[in-house]
């Protein structure tokens, strides 16, 4: 079971800016915790971050055949990117949308996701635990898919 974790713009600032909104953990610390959980469950994780929409689109496209599930925190691109939505829909690797914050309790422009409708599900509002729940969900999904074959 191989999981690709993609993080969008500004998430590299985690732990360094706005701790009252996004917490004190750095992206490296979050990635380590996700890797540990995936290893406990017998899987492998690769975590990447980019501030560039096109780079994220490229990584989604390349995931086919290499990764079983994508965990995608597209950050601000969640609310704007038709390109990421089209990539997720076209590639067909099951994708779970992840958010640290509860986007529905924030500004109205964050309530709309361009990507959620082409994802298997959305996990938001639990800080780092959103990613850990995403790992659990990825394993459940994979087991369900193997059983259905
Ligand atoms: O809650 C989330 O995970 C978000 O995807 C975070 C995005 C935001 O645009 C989405 O609406 C919800 C923002 C990520 C920016 O991360 C920062 C981290 C530290 C300091 C400043 C920004």
The pTM for the full model equals: 0.96
Question: Which residue among 12, 24, 101 has the greatest number of ligand 1 atoms within 8 angstroms of its CB, and so is best to mutate?
Answer: 101
Range 64-71 average pLDDT = 97
What pLDDT band is residue 55 in, cutting at 50, 70 and 90?
very high
- E-strand stretches of the chain: 2-7, 44-49, 69-73, 95-99, 121-124
Q: What is the CATH number of domain 5-112+120-148?
A: 3.40.50.9100
pLDDT over threshold 90, residue 144: no
Question: What is the overall mean pLDDT for the chain?
Answer: 95
Give how far Cα 20 sits from Cα of 25, 27, 88, Å: 11, 16, 31
What pLDDT band is residue 72 in, cutting at 50, 70 and 90?
very high
Per annotation, catalytic residue among 16, 22, 79, 111:
22
Q: Is 77 a catalytic residue?
A: no
Q: What is the pLDDT of residue 16?
A: 85
pLDDT over threshold 80, residue 65: yes
22 lines ligand 1 (CB under 6 A): yes
Per annotation, catalytic residue among 16, 77, 79, 99:
99
Token reading at 73: 């925190």
pLDDT over 70 for what percent of the chain? 100
10 lines ligand 1 (CB under 6 A): yes
DSSP helix/strand/coil, 107: coil
Q: Is 22 a catalytic residue?
A: yes
101 lines ligand 1 (CB under 6 A): yes
What pLDDT band is residue 122 in, cutting at 50, 70 and 90?
very high
131 lines ligand 1 (CB under 6 A): no
């Amino acid at each position: 079971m191989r999981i690709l974790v993609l993080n969008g713009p500004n998430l590299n600032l985690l732990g360094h800016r706005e701790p009252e909104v996004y917490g004190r953990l750095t992206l490296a610390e979050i990635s380590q915790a996700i890797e540990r959980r995936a290893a406990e469950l017998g899987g492998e994780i690769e975590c990447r971050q980019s501030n560039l929409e096109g780079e994220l689109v490229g990584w989604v496209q390349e995931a086919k055949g290499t990764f079983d599930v994508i965990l995608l925190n597209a950050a601000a691109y969640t609310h704007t990117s038709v390109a990421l939505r089209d990539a997720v829909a076209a590639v067909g690797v099951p994708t779970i949308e992840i958010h640290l914050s509860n986007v529905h309790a924030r500004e109205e422009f964050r309530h709309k996701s361009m990507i959620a409708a082409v994802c298997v599900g959305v996990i938001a509002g639990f800080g780092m635990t959103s990613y850990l729940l995403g790992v659990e969900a990825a394993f459940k999904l994979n087991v369900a898919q193997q059983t259905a074959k």
